[in-house]
Amino acid sequence: MMEQSYPNHIKKIVIVSYATYPGNSPRNMRTNELAKELAKQGHDVTLYVLTGTYDYESYEKDTGVKIKSLGKTYFFKYDPKTGNKLNIFTRVASKLVGNIFEFPYIELVRNAYCAIKEQSNIDLLITIAVPYPLHWGAALLRTLNEDNLKHTVWVADCGDPYMGNDFNKKFFYFEYIEKWFCRKADFISIPIESAKKGYYPEFLNKVKVIPQGFNFNETIKAKEYKKNVVPTFIYAGIFYEKLRDPRPFLDYLVTLKKDFKFIVYTKTPTFLGDYKEKLGNKLQIYSYIPRDELILEMSKVDFLVNFENPSTKHSPSKLIDYALSGRPILSLNTNVELNTSLISQFLSDNYEQALKLDNIEQYNIKNVAKEFLCLLNKSKEC
């Protein structure tokens, strides 16, 4: 079969990721937004993901992205609408040996290897973690079949560090695997500058900061903000015990005698069970909603709440959505003594100490795609 040729300005781009639309995790959105924008710019984009039984025909027509299945998985099943499904054996095995073998996602090494191998003449390969075995599959292909990716620029995109992750420590021997894939990759892209501390010094010359990107044109906000009858504020995201823990904040809210409305969108509502009984209608708990709907809802409230990560290597991508909503951000560290004075200021409509995100345009997907394409030149200035 004759290989298709393209004008010089059109690049053949292959993206390998765990999942994409309709999932709404940060990594799913990273994949979806990037693939759509690169295709919109006229490039030939093939996206490998776990497709499950989801029909991507209309997605392909609307976006120009060619969707291919990463192949069969034996230890778990993935449904793009509902997420990951583990059988009883896999759940037990994950608890016993999950951290030892990166189980069950270790099998994605094979999937990624086979997916990339079936392609040829790739200009730009982007593998998106988590899970990290997707990177390892590309590294294995470069190790065993070096000619296959000889003229390809491979960017290993990482949401959080692997060995340098402060929240999820790995066994020592994974250091050798991480260094192996870092040697094989041309670039390692990370979303924030401070995350560089999570990577080995010998590979920092390969690390490029490319923020999470979103299509600003699809952002819908309320036409005009109107102050709510009672202070109304939103938190959207996952909670982690002693890391991104809402309970000190909720304990303080319980003591307040004034009316307010705290709206939470989360998939970890167990942190909030006792407080729903204490706060009644002052606390409203919902599951995740689509990102565009969430930004619209956030644009209607008085302010937004962010629970800070205790590590500077990690920054939640939801802060970009917060900024796009246009509402002030109350940023709290619940791992130290709670700043009740700051909370009181926000509840009194004083937002002078609101968290500000500089240079919001860096998160525009057009600029993010440009940063990835710049790496095709292997430029140190990208």
pLDDT tens readout for residues 171-196: 889 899 999 999 999 999 998 888 89
Q: What angle do CA 210, 215, 218 make, to 5 degrees?
A: 160
How many residues can be counted in the chain?
382
Share of the chain above pLDDT 90, in %: 59
Number of neighbouring beta carbons within 10 Å of residue 379:
9
Short-list 185, 217, 218, CA closest to 202: 185
**DSSP H or E stretch at residue 319:** helix 318-325
- Region at 35 (left for phi over 0; alpha for psi -120 to 50; beta for the rest): alpha
Domains annotated for the chain, with CATH where assigned, are 12-213+364-377 (3.40.50.2000), 217-360 (3.40.50.2000)
pLDDT at 117 over 70: yes
pLDDT mean over 119-146: 94
- Name the residue with tokens 């250091």: 175
pLDDT at 324 over 80: yes
pLDDT score, position 335? 84
Pick 335 or 58 by higher pLDDT: 58
pLDDT mean over 351-366: 90
Short-list 234, 233, 158, 238, CA closest to 191: 158
pLDDT score, position 381? 65
Number of neighbouring beta carbons within 10 Å of residue 359:
8
CA distance 249 to 272: 11
pLDDT score, position 283? 96
330 forms beta bridges with 305
What is the chain's mean pLDDT, rounded?
89
pLDDT score, position 7? 52
Number of neighbouring beta carbons within 10 Å of residue 258:
10
- Region at 359 (left for phi over 0; alpha for psi -120 to 50; beta for the rest): left
